[in-house]
Every structure is written in structure tokens, then in C-alpha cells.
Structure 1
Amino acid sequence: MAKGKKKDVFDWEDEEQEEIIWVSKSEIKRDAEELKQLGEKLVNLTKANLTKMPLDDSLLDAVELAQRLQKEARRRQLQYIGKLLRGMDVEPIREALAKIENKHNQQQAMLHKLEKVRDELVEKGDAALTNLLNDYPKADRQQLRNLIRAAQKEQAQNKPSKAYREIYQILKTLMLTD
């Protein structure tokens, strides 16, 4: 060894040297798995929702191919989609996916609200109908009153609930179009 050469010594005290961020292998694997799951959510989207996503052409082609594949080929394609996602900014994709999922949750909540209103109409009768007509004056009072009475009669006789379903359909058109 030559005596005059000095090895590069890393000075931990020197703040001007580059900051080194150590990432564990486990953390890298967790991130890769998370991106693969994001890719799986993309693959499970419908074509209409997929067009709303900010995807580049190569990723869109990979997702569409994965939708057609099955079993092991699909698993490999999901791995590839995860790899593609690692090389891009996924935040806009996550935001768009959250909007789509939130819209679905809002629709589900609205349908549950419709069921609750219908149950209240059948249970309380004219009092609940008056409250509904205050909120939705365009509703046909006579038709709803007849359906409510028919639904109450069906429940009392343990018959199939045809009127019960009709009330739901009327409420759906009434409340979702306003």
C-alpha cells in the first residue's frame, strides 16, 4: 500500500455532505405490495371508471390486459402493473380512485336512506307520508297512500311484498331526480 494516499473518510458531523436515507428491504417490499394492491384496484374497475383515471398508455394497456387474464397470468400481470406504478407518481391515481370509491359509498348511503324512508312510510302511514310530501311536493299523494296501505296489508297477511317494492321504486325516482 502506498503511504501517501488517504482513504475517503465520511464525516458524520459535516452537514454539507449528502444526506443518506436508509430504506430497509422490508419497507421496499411493503411499498411494492401496496402498489400492487393499487394496481389490483385499477384492474377491478369498470371500463367507464377506468377512462376517468389519469393513466399513461402503457399502464392502461397493462390494466386492460390484466382484466382479460386469469389465474397465474393475471398474478404476473399484476406484478408488472406494480412495477410500472413504481416508476411514476401515483398520487393523482390514488385521488381519482378515492373519488370513484367515495361516489359509490354515497350512492349506497342514498339507497339505504330510501329503504329507511320506505320502512317508515309503511310503519307510520299517513304521518310519514305528510312529512315526505312536505319535502317532495311533486309526489303523487294518492298513489303513495294506496301503495302504503297495500304494503301494510301484504305484511299482515305474509304475502309477497309487491307494493313494498313499488314504493321503493317511486321513492327512488322521486328522490334521486331532485
Structure 2
Amino acid sequence: MPNTRTDMSQNGTARTARCAPELVRLDTGSERAAGLRAAVVRLRLGPGRHFADPAHETLPRADADPNRVPFAVVNEGEAVGFGILDRRGNLAELTPHPERAVLLRAFYIDPARQGLGLGRAACNALDPIARDVAPDADTVLLTVNERNPAAIRAYLAGGFDYTGDRYLNGDMGPQFVLRRPIAR
């Protein structure tokens, strides 16, 4: 039986989601990827929107950088989120072993689907795509703004842990550095 979660929406109606998202690469040129690319650029950012840039801005930058691999978070056949796995980025600032890490960036779930466990479930589903994007990596790293408690909760619930480090070079202020091992 699929993992489901029911929450109350802001208007008081019950929302249920099957929490088994699939992470689909958007750099393959397939018909499915093309449809998902069109869908992710329509996704909105939630209340923490100043902490991330939307896909319509970050997807073209990922397309122009061979080290970045964009992906859609797909749940029940629909794009519900977006993210990028970056093999370079600022990894050298975050770890003494950048060659063994991949950076999760520009990750978000559409606000209409937040609170259903999809962010947590997507983090838990990172291993296959991370192994595909960065075969030598054993860790996924990310930075999250210290003033974004909802994202911090989702990342921790999705298997990330604090490294004990902070990233201070971001435009939006201090960020925690989190890590998640990649299961083999």
C-alpha cells in the first residue's frame, strides 16, 4: 500500500497525497522530460520564496552548466517540485572532499502541495538520481537559510543531518550546511 498523508488545507478541507514521489531528470531530451520541464516552470514558490529562485530562472542556468542536472519531483503523475543536483557549485567551500559530494540546490515543493510530506519523501528518494548524476559521490550536501524553519524540518525529516558548519557567503544571510549519505 502506498505511503499516504492527510493534512488540513488552509481553508479547512482535508488533503491527501500519496507520498512516493519520483525524481525525474529534466536533461534527457525525452518527451516526458519536455512535458515536466513545462510543468516545473509553472510551479510557484511558497512563503520562503526569497530563499530560492523559481525554476523559470534556475532551469536555464542549469541547462547552460554541464555540472548541473535539473530534476522534477513527480507525484501521482504530476510535477509537484523542482531541484538541481550540482557536481561543482560551491562544494569546495562546504567540504574538504568536493569530489565525493553533490550539491542539492534550488529545491522546492509547490506551496499547494506543501505539508503533505512530499519534501521529506523527495529527500528520501534522492539516492538513485544522486548516484546517476555523480557516481563517485557518497554525500548530498545543501545549504538552508537559518530563517527557514519549514525547509530545515523537511530536510531533517528527509534524512539530512547538520554538519556543524554554517555557510556565510549567501545573499540571504547565514545558512546551515546539511548532509545526507548516498546509499549504495
Q: Please give the TM-score of this superposition, normalised by the length of structure 1.
A: 0.23
Higher strand share: 2
Find the structure with the greater CA-based Rg. Answer: 1
The structure whose RCO (Cα within 8 Å, separation 6+) is larger is 2
Q: Please give the TM-score of this superposition, normalised by the length of structure 2.
A: 0.23
Higher helix share: 1
